[in-house]
A and B are shown apart, each in its own frame.
Chain A
Amino acid sequence: MILVIVVGLCVKSEPLFEQQSLIEVLLGTVWSPLKGYFGFLPFIIGTISVTLSALIIAVPLCVSASVYLVEYASARVRQVVLPLVNILAAIPPVLYGVWGILFVVPLIGDYLAPVFGVSTTGYSILAGGVVLAVMVFPIMVSIMVEVLKTIPQDLRAVSLSLGATRLETVQHVLLRKAKPGIVAAIVLAISRAFGETIAVLMVCGNIPQLPQSLFDAGYPLPALIANNFGEMMSIPLYDSALMFAALLLLVIILGFNVVSRGILKRMEEINQ
């Protein structure tokens, strides 16, 4: 089925390349379908910057929270917190979007931006990043907790008996040992973040421009597909451009998935 999807998308997006080369499409900055220019750079940059800002927020929080849950917290705390994190995973994206509009966007527009001397409506890359960060919390935390649990107890015992404090054990032994697993968790989170559509679309502003700062509006790839699919039949080549966007997304996510699975699997084998 994957093959069917990929081939179908390739065939559909092929007409685009009769007019423009791949490099032109990927690096072009002008997006005006009416004139026949399809530059994907603003959207690619938009996607990457939203994802990156989400990661910058989420990674440190998730690593330290999972270390706390596994190493410090009592079993009872873990039993309460982990199901709560799972509930967070079950909340549909549209609710994250509503929350983003109700809370994150005004917060950024009214309070955060003036501090930096920028004026913005709040619909910005940063807002998208915050919402996405909260959305990837559950994936990251649950995988990281699993990874930290697979580390043999002996290692902790040895390190502690050598006189290291708990923090030093975490820093020098556990995190080093768990590094591949943590990377895999991050990669999986990235692939989730890349494909997320609605929540980001609702808070990101959606202006096809090259964003200059975190407070500018961005326009990620999935949002592009969702916003323009209805009208694509009326403009020539528009449909194949959008199909190319879908293909691009699929290929990126496929790559990320394969990489992270590989890492996780190798880790399991090493620890067994």
Chain B
Amino acid sequence: MSAIKRRLRKEKIARACMLTAAIIITGSLFFIIGTIVWKGMPYLSLEMLTQTPQGGFYIGKEGGILNAILGSVYLASLSTLLATVIGVPICIFLNVYVKKGSPLSRFSKLLFDVLFGVPSIVYGAIAFSIMVWLGIRASLLGGVITITLLTIPIVVRTLDELILTVPNDLRHITASLGATRWEGAKVLLKYVKPGLMTAILLAFGRAIGDVAGVLLTTGFSDNIPIYLDEPTATLPLAIFFQLSSPIPEVQGRAYASALILTIIILLIVICTQYLASKQKKNRI
């Protein structure tokens, strides 16, 4: 009987190890957020949120990071909008008009998978060299183009997964009622609407948090951008630059900026989860 005892003891030990692993992984989330909140909270003030950098901001004088917050929001919303406008038709085309399993649909799916995995620094490098070639300087426009390239695969892939969950019956019914394929596509879109919002929010979250892509293409500026061809500050870049400063005041602001970014991201995540649960209820 000692053999079985040994086996059961082994089981208990292994189970404890696995539990620890699971706790470490989940805990790391709270740990990261906790560290940022703990460090950023003392530096967070209303001034940070509502003012642009004043003279001497980067040596620790007054001012805020409104320029970066607005810049990020502009950049992310513009490119998400563009990505949606381009990505949704692509997805509809691939799923409604192209025959399933045909070489074209298989190939383009693989392509979007690969594009999804291309690191943003590579997008940034390409966009930068194109901009140099065309003679455009670092500007909001350049950033928007780069981030759009980055987010199109996200929109297409997420939407694609969603359309796969649509029951085939729906398609047959619309077709048998005499609907054209275009009308069928409209029904399809209506069905996945909450999911579409999830895809857009995911893309927005990725767009607002990306650094490597905008590092080379968007530049940096203390002003709130008004036109598309102005260089723009973004929140992640602001964090990155402030953090490399040797002055503790400025570093503290970087922590506070990180806290703001965290809050934005968490809000987006909560919205996404909410919409995802709604999509589940929407199922027939």
Task: Give per-residue flags for A57-82: 1 if the beta carbon is below 8 A from chain B beta carbons, else 0.
Answer: 00011101101110011000000010
* Minimum CB–CB distance for A196 against chain B, Å: 7
B113 within 8 A of A: yes
Q: Is the CB of B209 within 8 A of A94?
A: yes
* Minimum CB–CB distance for A9 against chain B, Å: 7
A157 within 8 A of B: no
Q: CB-nearest residue of chain A relative to B40?
A: A98
Known A-B contacts A167-B10, A167-B14, A226-B212; A65 and B21 likewise in contact (beta carbons under 8 Å):
yes
Which stretch from B43-51, B173-181, B263-271 is at the chain A interface?
B263-271
Please report the C-alpha to C-alpha distance between residue A204 and residue B208 in the assembled complex, in whole angstroms. 24
Contacts of B216 in A (CB 8 A): 226, 229-230
Q: Is the CB of A98 within 8 A of B205?
A: no
Please report the C-alpha to C-alpha distance between residue A88 and residue B22 in the assembled complex, in whole angstroms. 13
Give 16 A-B contacts (CB < 8 Å), ordered by A residue: A90-B268, A93-B211, A94-B211, A95-B209, A99-B36, A101-B243, A102-B36, A165-B10, A167-B14, A195-B117, A197-B119, A222-B121, A226-B216, A229-B215, A249-B121, A250-B118
Q: Is the CB of B239 within 8 A of A243?
A: no
Q: How many residues of B contact A (CB 8 A)?
A: 63
A254 within 8 A of B: yes
Q: Is the CB of A257 within 8 A of B268?
A: no
Known A-B contacts A64-B21, A98-B258; A197 and B14 likewise in contact (beta carbons under 8 Å):
no
Contacts of A60 in B (CB 8 A): 21
Which stretch from B27-35, B55-63, B77-85, B182-190 is at the chain A interface?
B27-35
Contact of B273 among A62, A83, A85, A102 (CB under 8 A): A83
Q: CB-nearest residue of chain A relative to B210?
A: A92
Contact of A88 among B29, B128, B212, B272 (CB under 8 A): B29
Please report the C-alpha to C-alpha distance between residue A12 and residue B129 in the assembled complex, in whole angstroms. 9
Q: Is the CB of B28 within 8 A of A226?
A: no
Q: Is the CB of A91 within 8 A of B239?
A: no
Q: Is the CB of B25 within 8 A of A198?
A: no
Q: CB-nearest residue of chain A relative to B20?
A: A64
Contacts of B26 in A (CB 8 A): 81, 84-85
A87 within 8 A of B: yes
Please report the C-alpha to C-alpha distance between residue A171 and residue B121 in the assembled complex, in whole angstroms. 40
Please report the C-alpha to C-alpha distance between residue A5 and residue B150 in the assembled complex, in whole angstroms. 13
Within B75-127, the residues touching A (CB, 8 Å) are 110-111, 113-115, 117-122, 124-126
Please report the C-alpha to C-alpha distance between residue A68 and residue B35 in the assembled complex, in whole angstroms. 27
Q: Is the CB of A69 within 8 A of B22?
A: yes
B261 within 8 A of A: yes
* Minimum CB–CB distance for A205 against chain B, Å: 13
B247 within 8 A of A: no
Task: Give per-residue flags for A169-211: 1 if the beta carbon is below 8 A from chain B beta carbons, else 0.
Answer: 0000000000000000000100110111110001000000000
Scoring B215, B254, B255 by chain A CB atoms within 10 A of each residue's CB, the highest score goes to B215
Interface of B is mostly: helix
Contacts of A85 in B (CB 8 A): 25-26, 29
* Minimum CB–CB distance for B233 against chain A, Å: 14
Q: Is the CB of A94 within 8 A of B261?
A: yes
Contact of B119 among A65, A72, A134, A222 (CB under 8 A): A222
| Size range of the chain A interface in the assembly | 35 or more
Task: Give per-residue flags for B249-284: 1 if the beta carbon is below 8 A from chain A beta carbons, else 0.
Answer: 000001100100110011011001100000000000
Q: CB-nearest residue of chain A relative to B12?
A: A167
Known A-B contacts A9-B126, A68-B18; A192 and B117 likewise in contact (beta carbons under 8 Å):
yes
A246 within 8 A of B: yes
Please report the C-alpha to C-alpha distance between residue A37 and residue B170 in the assembled complex, in whole angstroms. 63
Scoring B18, B205, B209, B262 by chain A CB atoms within 10 A of each residue's CB, the highest score goes to B18
A258 within 8 A of B: yes
Q: Is the CB of A196 within 8 A of B119?
A: yes
* Minimum CB–CB distance for A91 against chain B, Å: 6
Known A-B contacts A93-B209, A167-B11; A84 and B29 likewise in contact (beta carbons under 8 Å):
yes
B39 within 8 A of A: yes
Scoring B243, B254, B255 by chain A CB atoms within 10 A of each residue's CB, the highest score goes to B243
Q: CB-nearest residue of chain B relative to A164?
A: B7
Contacts of B17 in A (CB 8 A): 64
Q: Is the CB of B28 within 8 A of A134?
A: yes
B240 within 8 A of A: yes
